């Protein structure tokens, strides 16, 4: 069954990537998401306190979907969590980077739907 709560989705990513641990060092420079994921995980192990919902949303916000990390399923889960946060909370509670990401996705969708000849290069045949 698909999990529809974004905090639980990103929690599942934390569990998977902390168990794997490859991206602790592989993605420690080029990504804002994984260093924070491992900070949260290490903090949880030290204190016994789970990351808050706000921490989980902030973590989600750090992924810009650059696709540099190795696992497409993990990226899909992160972007799924992002879109679910926006669908549930709107853009009022989310931070600047997430708003900009959402706006860029909607802007790209406008071009994908446009069938005018001047937009042919970005139209359905080119996607």
Residues at the interface with ligand SF4 (CB under 6 A): 16-17, 20, 22-23, 27, 31, 33-34, 63-71, 74-75, 78
Measured from the Cβ of residue 5, the count of other Cβ atoms closer than 10 Å reads 13
Least distance between ligand SF4 and beta carbon 2 (Å): 19
Least distance between ligand SF4 and beta carbon 41 (Å): 11
Closer CB to ligand SF4, 71 or 122, in the complex? 71
Closer CB to ligand SF4, 47 or 73, in the complex? 73
Alpha-helical segments (H) within the chain: 6-20, 23-26, 33-47, 53-61, 72-89, 96-113
Answer yes or no: are the C-beta atoms of 13 and 74 closer than 8 Å: yes
């Amino acid at each position: 069954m698909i999990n529809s709560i974004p905090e639980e989705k990103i929690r599942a990513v934390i569990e998977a990537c902390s168990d794997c641990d490859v991206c602790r060092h592989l993605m420690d420079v080029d990504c804002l998401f994984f260093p924070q994921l491992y900070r949260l995980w290490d903090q949880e192990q030290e204190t016994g306190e789970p990351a808050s919902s706000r921490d989980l949303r902030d973590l989600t916000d750090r992924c810009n979907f650059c696709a540099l990390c190795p696992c497409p399923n993990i990226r899909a889960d992160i972007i799924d969590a992002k879109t679910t946060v926006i669908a549930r909370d709107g853009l009022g509670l989310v931070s600047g980077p997430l708003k900009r990401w959402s706006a860029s996705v909607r802007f790209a969708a406008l071009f994908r739907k446009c069938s005018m000849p001047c937009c042919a290069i970005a139209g359905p045949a080119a996607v």
